[in-house]
Chains A and B, each alone.
Chain A
Amino acid sequence: MKKMQALLLGLLVLSLALAGCGAPAAANTELILLEWSGYELPEFWEPFAAQHPEIAPQYSFFAEDTEAFSKAQSGFEFDLVHPCSSYWRSYVDAGLVQPLDLSRLTYWNDVYPNLADEGEFDGQQYFVPWEWGYESILVRTDLVEEVPDSWADLWDPQYAGHVSVFDSGESNFVMAASVLGIDPYNATPEQVEQIKQKLLELKPNLLTYWTDYTEINQLVAQGDVWLAGQAWNDAYAALYDEGYEVEYLDPAEGRLGWVCGFGISANSANVDLAYDYLNAVMAPESMANMGNAYYYGVANAAAQPLLDEYFVELMDMDDPAVLADTVFYQSLTEEQRELFARIWTEVKAGE
């Protein structure tokens, strides 16, 4: 028994020693971001580099929102985090982010109010929206006999074996609900069952579920997939640029929309730097650089005039009707997230 205690003590000492290595440095000397890969490009935060040439932001990249959230929950020390809106409430509820002092955000008044609202909880702003985009149906017009005009057409047998949808419970639950005319965020148990049945009925039409941008681009380019459900702006732009005959639908039920943005860690020791970084990425030039690079929408209205005309036309960025009809994802409660994930797992398992 003594040996066991010695062993445990040894492990404890070792783990404390290791933890010591990761202890935060003095305040405002470094900046750690939990960030999607691709957003670390210097042209997205030039003003910060000019202001703090001695500080190189450190990035910890993630590929899925769940990954970032579990990392933050497991005690990873960060100053800024960049999740998408459906996770915003979870960060707030878990106490991982702090309320923002809007007076410190230079460009706050130019942020589109409908996007800003998504980051407000209990009367306080926790997240700054930065980029947004569509999820819609990407169609290979040269391969289909009839170009669809609604989400419901994904179920049309004429496309059997050539449809792909994003492998996401939230996305498909919301999509099926909008086809059925159900409010996905307040569905009754009967309606949930209806949505599940609807998604099961989609399976015969599906070739595969797509999981990332590269995969869906290849599937559409090869001609295996004619209808790519929940495809993002950049997938359409890339295929269009490569000369494929593709169309990005404006479905009858509306395009789905996502928005992502930044929050400051509740435990950040570098809050001043974090605000400086936020002001840098929200500057109209920085946002326009991001929009023009990735074909995503910008949250700062002042960046709109700086966008390439080609991109604005391609994405209907100047058409208020498309934006007004867009069904933006809402922040989810834990119960909602669990429900969406459970239904999707059951659909995939094939009940």
Chain B
Amino acid sequence: MNSRSTARRLGILLSPPAAILFGLFFVPLAIMATYAWREGTFGAASRQFTWSNFEQLAASPGFLKLLGSSAGLALQTSLLAIVLAYPVAYLLAFSAGRYRLGLLTLLILPAWTSYLLRILAWKLILGSNGVLNYALLELGWIQEGVPIFLYSRTAVLITLVYVWTPFAALPIFSALERIQQPLLDAASDLGAKPWESFLRITLPLSFPGVLAAFFFVFIPTIGEWVTPALVGGVDGIMYGNLIQDQFVRALNWPMGSLLSMVLLAVTLVAVLIFNRFVNITEVGAYG
């Protein structure tokens, strides 16, 4: 078989998914992007070219400030999820033994239920008649039921960390699993203490997995809107809620499109910056 026929076969195999990706993802996205320069959503106004959406965005510093705070929340979520996920992944990779499959299943089990259901469950825990309040009341730490955490930025953070920790654990686990036992044996033969071999062998070798975990969590979280809408209240609102409002309530697709494209650009820039520190294809291989 020569390389030419290999290329042709590859082309035949790849063309259906490529066509789907192009026709059902790239084209609609490009059409949506053009709305950023349109005067209105429907009718004659939608055929009018304008920069006014950009001007309005520039005149509304609150929008970009909210993007900043959403990025901050996504960053906090990613870091916390990684900190919580790392020991879990470590346990799975090195100590779980024959329980590995069972534990791995347990880890991803909550993901089998609806995302919405899991968020609503947190309302039951955090609400003023919720489990947390009940416990605090019984302990005598508080006098009356209060929605302490619900409807706040903290509630959004707690819920997002809960949702994403299992997903952060998977790429870290997969990276840890590839570490060759002889490397660790050699380190201990040469007199390294366990914490030394962890810091100098395990951690650096699992770093691509950690980075993959970071992107797994950060990218979907920065544009999140369901969780803040349900548990965020007035202060926990995120940039994604603004975008949703533009499309669903305000019927202002041009502004919604512009806000989405800004988010996309910010995310791409973040990925490119991280790409300078680590080879992204390597991360992909571990992810």
Q: Which residues of A contact B (CB under 8 A)?
A: 7, 11, 64, 66-67, 69-70, 73, 94, 167-169, 203, 206-209, 211, 222-224, 334, 337-338, 341-342, 344-346, 348-351
Which of A7, A73, A337, A351 contacts B42 (CB under 8 A)?
A73
Chain A nearest Cβ from B72, distance in angstroms: 14
B259 nearest in chain A by CB position: A345
B123 nearest in chain A by CB position: A218
Which of A223, A224, A348 contacts B245 (CB under 8 A)?
A348
Given known A-B contacts A208-B151, A222-B127, A349 and B62 have beta carbons under 8 A apart: yes
The docked-state distance in angstroms from the alpha carbon of A167 to that of B249 is: 9
User: Is B110's CB within 8 Å of the partner chain A?
Assistant: no
The docked-state distance in angstroms from the alpha carbon of A223 to that of B133 is: 13
Given known A-B contacts A64-B248, A66-B251, A222 and B129 have beta carbons under 8 A apart: yes
User: What 4 pairs between A and B have smallest CB-CB spacing?
Assistant: A341-B250, A351-B62, A349-B62, A208-B233
User: Is B41's CB within 8 Å of the partner chain A?
Assistant: yes
A349, B66: Cβ atoms closer than 8 Å: yes
Which of A203, A207, A348 contacts B241 (CB under 8 A)?
A348
Residues of A within 8 A of B66 (CB): 349-350
Given known A-B contacts A167-B249, A345-B250, A94 and B233 have beta carbons under 8 A apart: no
* Residue of B42, B63, B129, B150 contacting most chain A CB atoms (<10 Å): B42
User: Is B33's CB within 8 Å of the partner chain A?
Assistant: no
A349, B63: Cβ atoms closer than 8 Å: yes
The docked-state distance in angstroms from the alpha carbon of A37 to that of B218 is: 37
User: Is B105's CB within 8 Å of the partner chain A?
Assistant: no
A74 nearest in chain B by CB position: B42
A168 nearest in chain B by CB position: B249
Could you list 15 A-B pairs, sorted by A, with CB under 8 Å?
A: A7-B19, A66-B248, A66-B251, A70-B41, A70-B42, A70-B251, A73-B41, A73-B42, A206-B234, A222-B128, A334-B45, A341-B250, A345-B250, A348-B242, A349-B242
The docked-state distance in angstroms from the alpha carbon of A283 to that of B40 is: 40
* Residue of B60, B63, B127, B249 contacting most chain A CB atoms (<10 Å): B249
The docked-state distance in angstroms from the alpha carbon of A64 to that of B248 is: 8
B249, A64: Cβ atoms closer than 8 Å: yes
* Residue of A69, A94, A211, A345 contacting most chain B CB atoms (<10 Å): A345
A350, B62: Cβ atoms closer than 8 Å: yes
Given known A-B contacts A211-B229, A349-B60, A338 and B128 have beta carbons under 8 A apart: no
Which of A11, A66, A168, A351 contacts B23 (CB under 8 A)?
A11
The docked-state distance in angstroms from the alpha carbon of A304 to that of B29 is: 52
User: Is B237's CB within 8 Å of the partner chain A?
Assistant: yes
User: Is B252's CB within 8 Å of the partner chain A?
Assistant: yes
Chain A nearest Cβ from B223, distance in angstroms: 15
The docked-state distance in angstroms from the alpha carbon of A7 to that of B20 is: 12
B234, A203: Cβ atoms closer than 8 Å: yes
- Interface flags, B197-228, vs A, CB<8A=1, else 0: 00000000000000000000000000000000
A169, B60: Cβ atoms closer than 8 Å: no
A169, B40: Cβ atoms closer than 8 Å: no
The docked-state distance in angstroms from the alpha carbon of A233 to that of B145 is: 28
Given contacts A64-B248, A349-B60, 6 further A-B contacts (CB under 8 A): A69-B251, A73-B43, A167-B249, A222-B129, A224-B150, A351-B61
Chain B nearest Cβ from A97, distance in angstroms: 15
B233, A207: Cβ atoms closer than 8 Å: yes
- Contacts of B57-85 to chain A: CB distance below 8 A: 60-63, 65-66
A341, B61: Cβ atoms closer than 8 Å: no
The docked-state distance in angstroms from the alpha carbon of A223 to that of B63 is: 32
Chain B nearest Cβ from A253, distance in angstroms: 23
The docked-state distance in angstroms from the alpha carbon of A251 to that of B12 is: 70
Residues of B within 8 A of A207 (CB): 147, 151, 233-234
B249, A66: Cβ atoms closer than 8 Å: yes
B242, A345: Cβ atoms closer than 8 Å: yes
User: Is B50's CB within 8 Å of the partner chain A?
Assistant: no
B127 nearest in chain A by CB position: A222
A208, B249: Cβ atoms closer than 8 Å: no
B248, A342: Cβ atoms closer than 8 Å: no
Residues of B within 8 A of A223 (CB): 128-129, 145
A169, B250: Cβ atoms closer than 8 Å: yes
Chain A nearest Cβ from B113, distance in angstroms: 20
Residues of B within 8 A of A346 (CB): 60, 62
A342, B128: Cβ atoms closer than 8 Å: no
User: Is B246's CB within 8 Å of the partner chain A?
Assistant: yes
Chain A nearest Cβ from B6, distance in angstroms: 20
A337, B128: Cβ atoms closer than 8 Å: no
B252, A338: Cβ atoms closer than 8 Å: yes
A224, B127: Cβ atoms closer than 8 Å: yes
The docked-state distance in angstroms from the alpha carbon of A91 to that of B242 is: 25
- Interface flags, B40-55, vs A, CB<8A=1, else 0: 1111010000000000
Residues of B within 8 A of A203 (CB): 234
Given known A-B contacts A211-B229, A223-B128, A351-B62, A345 and B246 have beta carbons under 8 A apart: yes
B251, A341: Cβ atoms closer than 8 Å: yes
The docked-state distance in angstroms from the alpha carbon of A73 to that of B63 is: 28
A94 nearest in chain B by CB position: B43
B234, A208: Cβ atoms closer than 8 Å: yes
B63 nearest in chain A by CB position: A349
Given known A-B contacts A67-B248, A94-B43, A169-B249, A351 and B60 have beta carbons under 8 A apart: yes
Chain A nearest Cβ from B236, distance in angstroms: 9
